[in-house]
């Protein structure tokens, strides 16, 4: 049987793409090398921040607005809590990347962001210990996505729209015949399709080896701490946060369950030579960096690491996603180099992948295409 479309990889991007392709009316198959909703790639660890005043580039703002609506629609469809509004406090030096970037995006797109002095931050959230001279920016329409529930809901919705899933099958290679039909050799047999969406996350360069992509895979450690405060709980109104410090960018979430408060470093991390062999043991250096951040930026008397989980960023050379058609094969598209900030955009990225296969392209995605960039 020849499918209309195959999606290679069912992490975050692939699950969303599977749904978008099935909703488009294509007979769609998703192939995943592990089980579905697994913890071996980039789409696990309880939470992901969703925000709109985007410090990385103002052109993400219209995509973020659209993504908010899409997540809320999926939440209604699946009757599952997916997205929670907590607000987001971003802090840093006045001339830093985060503060300057958030202000530029807010100004360009007319977004409301409250500017706070360190004293105003403490008045509002006494758990924080901002350094003098820092600027706080509070964005109210921001919060977190429940990452595993999002992936599960995307897959459930894809199945309802008619998609088929083959799990525990690794795609070893693919070929395109003269008539354009694509054959994928997997560990569980051969599958064929008219179109292919590659959503292989950290494995993208392995799957698209002929493309000479320059992505770097970086190990990231998500860590959960218990601290002796109650006002850092979600139900007590604590926000998500992202701080640019002299040691790097760190971010965290309110405590949403007994695991405690999740904290991680956005910068740093060690290169991963083989994503399949990711070191999943606690990295003491990463732990100490987060502890140092917590000690310097939050008020508490006791803290204890209760859990950690290794994950991977796939960095593109410029830190922006690469979403485009394969340069040599018209009926193959891909999204890669999600650079540690792609989750919030999944539904809109998925739509763009399907549109590219439909010979349409939304100009809002032009800044994320390959041309003119060092992919
Ligand atoms: C610690 C951490 C924190 C993050 N925080 C945020 C955040 O706060 N906000 C935000 O928006 N984003 C965030 N991100 C980024 C976001 O989570 C990722 O951009 C997104 O999840 C990437 O999804 P993906 O589908 O590209 O990769 P993955 O989820 O890794 O999916 C790739 C899939 O392809 C499969 N695959 C690969 N090769 C093959 C093959 N040959 N055959 C079959 N299957 C294959 C893999 O098994 C995997 O399931 C964070 C990422 C990490 C790691």
**pLDDT tens for residues 166-184?**
999 999 999 999 999 999 9
**Structure-block tokens of residue 60:** 């993400």
Q: Does domain 2-44+148-214+318-368 have CATH number 3.50.50.60?
A: yes
Per the DSSP assignment, residues forming a β-bridge with 137 are: 90, 115
> Per-residue pLDDT tens for 204-224?
999 999 998 999 999 999 999
Catalytic residues: 44, 47-48, 262, 266, 311, 344
| 2-44+148-214+318-368 and 88-140+216-315: identical CATH topology | no
Residues 6+ apart with CB under 8 A from 57: 101, 105, 320, 367
Which one, of 65, 73, 49, 50, lies nearest residue 110 by Cα?
65
- Domain locations in the chain as residue ranges: 2-44+148-214+318-368, 88-140+216-315
Where would I find the beta strands (DSSP E) of 124-236?
135-139, 143-146, 164-166, 171-176, 182-186, 189-193, 196-198, 216-227
Average pLDDT of the residues in 139-167:
98
Residue 373: the pLDDT is: 76
Res. 58: pLDDT tops 90: yes
| Measured distance CA(113)–CA(103) in Å, rounded | 8
Q: Calculate the CA 361 to chain-centre distance.
A: 22
* C-alpha atoms less than 13 angstroms from C-alpha of 274 in its C-beta half-sphere: 2
Q: Answer whether residue 61 shows pLDDT above 60.
A: yes
Pair 243, 265: CB distance under 8 Å:
no
Dihedral sign of CA atoms 135, 140, 141, 147 in order: positive
Distance 5 CA to ligand 1 centre (A): 21
Residues near ligand 1 (Cβ within 6 A): 8-14, 31-34, 41-43, 45, 48-49, 170-171, 199-203, 207, 220, 222, 264, 311-313, 338, 340-344
The rounded distance, in Å, linking the Cα atoms of 8 and 142 is 31
Band (pLDDT 50/70/90 cuts) for residue 9 is: very high
Q: Map residue 214 onto helix, strand or coil.
A: coil
**Percent of the chain topping pLDDT 90:** 98
**CA pair distance 40, 288, nearest whole angstrom:** 23
The pLDDT confidence band at residue 161, using thresholds 50, 70 and 90, is very high
- In degrees, rounded to 5, the angle at the alpha carbon of residue 13 between the alpha carbons of residues 234 and 44 is 40
Domain 88-140+216-315 sits in CATH at 3.30.9.10
CA 198 to chain centre: 16
Separation of alpha carbons 314 and 203, rounded Å? 9
Angle at 12 (CA atoms; ends 8, 15), nearest 5 degrees: 55
Nearest to 303 by CA among 252, 267, 340, 269: 252
3-state class (DSSP) for residue 297: helix
Ligand 1, residues 13, 200, 205: which to mutate, most atoms within 8 A of Cβ? 200
């Amino acid at each position: 049987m020849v499918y209309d479309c195959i999606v290679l990889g069912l992490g975050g991007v692939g699950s969303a793409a599977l749904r978008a392709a099935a909703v488009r009316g294509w007979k769609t198959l998703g192939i995943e090398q592990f089980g579905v909703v697994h913890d071996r790639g980039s789409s696990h660890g309880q939470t992901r921040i969703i925000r709109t005043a985007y410090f990385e580039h103002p052109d993400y703002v219209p995509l973020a607005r659209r993504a908010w609506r899409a997540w809320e629609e999926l939440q209604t469809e699946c009757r599952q809590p997916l997205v929670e509004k907590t607000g987001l406090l971003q802090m840093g030096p006045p001339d830093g990347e985060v503060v300057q970037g958030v202000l530029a995006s807010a100004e360009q797109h007319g977004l409301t962001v409250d500017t706070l002095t360190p004293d105003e931050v403490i008045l509002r959230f006494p758990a924080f210990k901002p350094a003098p001279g820092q600027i706080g920016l509070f964005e109210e329409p921001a919060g977190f996505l429940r990452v595993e529930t999002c992936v599960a809901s995307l897959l459930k919705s894809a199945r309802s729209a008619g998609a088929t899933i083959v799990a525990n099958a690794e795609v070893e290679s693919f070929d395109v015949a003269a008539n354009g039909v694509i054959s994928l050799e997997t560990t569980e047999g051969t599958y064929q399709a008219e179109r292919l969406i590659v959503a292989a996350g950290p494995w993208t360069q392995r799957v698209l080896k002929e493309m000479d992509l320059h992505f770097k895979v970086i190990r990231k450690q998500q860590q959960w701490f218990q601290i002796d405060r109650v006002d850092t709980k979600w139900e007590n109104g604590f926000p998500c946060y992202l701080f640019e410090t002299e040691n790097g960018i760190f971010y965290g979430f309110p405590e949403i369950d007994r695991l405690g408060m999740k904290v991680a470093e956005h910068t740093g991390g060690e290169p991963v030579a083989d994503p399949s062999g990711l070191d999943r043991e606690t990295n003491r250096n990463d732990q100490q960096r987060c502890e140092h951040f917590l000690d310097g930026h939050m008020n508490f008397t006791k803290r204890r690491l209760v859990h950690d989980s290794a994950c991977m960023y796939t960095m593109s050379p410029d830190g922006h996603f690469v979403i485009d058609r394969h340069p040599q094969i018209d009926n193959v598209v891909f999204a890669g180099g999600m650079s540690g900030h792609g989750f919030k955009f999944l539904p809109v990225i998925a739509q763009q992948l399907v549109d590219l296969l439909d010979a349409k392209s939304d100009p809002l995605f032009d800044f994320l295409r390959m041309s003119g960039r060092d992919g």
